[in-house]
Structure 1
């Protein structure tokens, strides 16, 4: 859901700001980069249940467990 994306963004930001080592600070970078460069695709998957590239099977239920 979009709430999950907001939660993940918050976790990523907190990792960067609160970690005392470089590894922790960069742990959220892949997610940040995906949302920066491919936000429209992520939104289409979540909101419209379609894959703009046509490579994902969108027929099944998917869940994100945090």
Structure 2
């Protein structure tokens, strides 16, 4: 299933495509050729993204900064 930000081109691909809204997302379904199925919407919620490498070191309490060296305050 293809994930796109806009379904306007996806729904024009075949005449058998159906537009369906489920659980707050919009889907293009095609039972005759499932290869043309698509979903509108991002795969992750914007506030639930992965932490960056620098934030991961701070969150775990690691003495290493994002450069892999100890900071001067911890010597």
Fold match (TM-score > 0.5): no
Which structure has the greater CA radius of gyration?
Answer: 2
Instruction: Quickly name the TM-score band, shorter chain normalised.
Output: under 0.3
TM-score (norm 2): 0.25
Which one has a larger percent strand, Structure 1 or Structure 2? 2
